[in-house]
Amino acid sequence: MPTPEEVRRRFAGTPLYPLLGIALVEIEPDRVVAAMTAAAVHCNIDGVVHGGLYGLLADTAMGCAARTGQSAGSRNKTLEMSVDFFAGAAAGDRLRAEGVVTARAGRFAWAEATVTAAPGDEPPRPIGRARSLNYEVPSG
């Protein structure tokens, strides 16, 4: 299994995450927290954070959580994902997704994530949840 440092190293080598400002803030076996601060560039035509960003943040947390139980050097693929949206978020909100693996069978891992938003110093509020099916692609 990859160590938290290995997960962080592979994450850091991916250009997408720094472009969006996504960071891994907690990593432990079967659980990862990814977070970012939403900016105006992340908002849709209605002025709220685009829901696709919730999905991407949740997928990142769930995929990295799944990776913590996979063979070192393997790749993780999201085979299926669904996202439920509860509320909107605004530019300046701190977004956080906690991804947790709920089951494993062979090369498959099922995960869930809760996405929250916190404006300023206010407590976080739930804005969405997601579920995914992940598959471990062997190295080579």
Range of the domain at 75: 4-137
Q: CB–CB of 136/113 below 8 Å?
A: no
CATH number of the domain bearing residue 132: 3.10.129.10
> And the tokens for 67?
């990776």
3-state secondary structure of 90: coil
3-state secondary structure of 46: coil
Query: What does pTM read for this prediction?
Result: 0.95
Sequential pLDDT tens for the chain (140 residues) = 778 888 999 899 999 999 999 999 999 999 999 999 999 999 999 999 999 999 999 999 999 999 999 988 899 999 999 999 999 999 999 999 999 999 999 999 999 999 999 988 889 999 999 999 999 998 87
Number of domains in the chain: 1
CB proximity list for 30: less than 8 A, separation 6 or greater: 65, 68, 69, 100, 101
